[in-house]
Structure 1
């Protein structure tokens, strides 16, 4: 064993976990040509793809680079690096000898996001890709969910704990269901039809199955929603004015794209006694259930208390359509819905909502 191999304690720990599943299989490995630390474009040191056969043929990817692969560098003794490596299971066609390049690029893109923003993924998270997860593909999978890899338990290494977080391709309506309920609960309810959470670009939405629809309905009714913070494209708040002979209501402005999601979250959050915070680059607005309507405003944060009557009215009226909503149960507040413009990576508008 070389000196370099002895030092690669984090790398070896990941490979040992994979050997527990695949024995001595020699995976397809894709190393970064130029390390990120030296100005390269790929943050991950490498990505391995194993050919799995059960429950049906698929590629099982694992990353090397979110954690500390060699010497311990961070000051956190509990976790290695960011504390996780990503895995991804992708359906493999008959005779397919090499994993598709887009899957490698997708994993590197996830790393670019984490390394540039400092935002990490965790089990239960989700991410809207705003388009096919495989660019140019004819697929309904336009978002990603993250959950514990069902076959790879976390491992403690000399550099700290490493969790294996599986990325799962999901449809837009599945994303909405997860936001309205619970990501991991949704995936667990789908295990029989989505074994090991294998991503298949050709599959239809799981919500076409009555059994999944019913599981989501019951789950929302029982548990409410786990989504306490919703990031929105457009958000603003203008306080109302009160004069002797005229008064203007306060105005809450949101984008058309998120209007239906907010409507569903109002029931799953506020009516379960839990607040919902809307975040944009400019504003932060918290909605919460209160016995009487009321608003607290400061420079960076708006806190809006709504009665159950207002919540139910908003749930019914919020639609992805540009316009102004007047509320019979809260005449001091109106909601302005503005069009949302979806743009591609070059900044071109590809879809208008509202």
Structure 2
């Protein structure tokens, strides 16, 4: 999309990138309303807030089995900016997603998972390095703090349902955080290559096509 078309199609009141994300989610969830959580500190990052992402939406999904599907907003270009029209990638070129089986210690929505997204986004914003498919991140402990779980790291896969989209600001991949066990973390530490990560993801997909994280998995 060139600048002229962008200016014709949108106004400064619009959020073209946000709308593109919502359009993709609508294709999966239709009229299902998510629960949207704005920045947990109340302020957007650009306004001095501590949360790099501009919020996250949580959907209740019955696909494969009941789980929470969490999607970030803010690692891609969300708001009107005619200078960003038609780019190859929209800002960092991805948003984070996470699928979680209901966990017995979560009485409400798993806000801790949004905090993890913020921590990962903070790393991206401060380091200038980004995540891609088949990347691997050890959490140096349980991904849910103070929890008896063997899930102590993440690998990144393309979200099986959301995939990649073209937005007015460029391409956005929905990168899904997939929780892995301490045994899997230690094995990847010995061989942290993209091929090794892909092999693990392919193995997990055999029994779990949507790559839903289960904190009780051993």
Scaled by the length of structure 1, the TM-score of the pair is 0.53
Distance 1:141 1:93 in 2: 13
Could you say which structure has the larger radius of gyration?
Answer: 1
Residues 1-354 of structure 1: matches in 2 within 5 Å? 7-32=14-39, 33-72=42-81, 77-92=87-102, 98-178=108-188, 180=191, 182-204=196-218
Distance 1:24 1:84 in 2: 24
Give the unaligned 5+ runs of structure 2. Answer: 1-9
Q: Residue 86 of structure 1: SS of its match in structure 2?
A: strand
Greater relative contact order (Cα < 8 A, sep 6+): 2
Give yes or no for contact 1:133–1:141 (8 Å, CA) kept in 2.
Answer: yes
Give yes or no for contact 2:188–2:197 (8 Å, CA) kept in 1.
Answer: yes
CA RMSD across the alignment: 2.2
Q: Residue 187 of structure 1: SS of its match in structure 2?
A: helix
Distance 2:103 2:144 in 1: 16
Deviation per CA, 1:61-96, whole angstroms, max 9, x where unpaired? 1110000001235598200000000000011259x8
User: CA 1:60 to 1:92, structure 2 compared with 1: closer, same or farther past 3 Å?
Assistant: same
Scaled by the length of structure 2, the TM-score of the pair is 0.85
The count of aligned residue pairs is: 201
Higher strand share: 1
The CA deviation at 1:25 is 0.8
Give the unaligned 5+ runs of structure 1. Answer: 205-354
Deviation per CA, 1:200-244, whole angstroms, max 9, x where unpaired? 11111xxxxxxxxxxxxxxxxxxxxxxxxxxxxxxxxxxxxxxxx
Distance 1:92 1:103 in 2: 12
Give yes or no for contact 1:57–1:91 (8 Å, CA) kept in 2.
Answer: yes
User: CA 1:198 to 1:125, structure 2 compared with 1: closer, same or farther past 3 Å?
Assistant: same
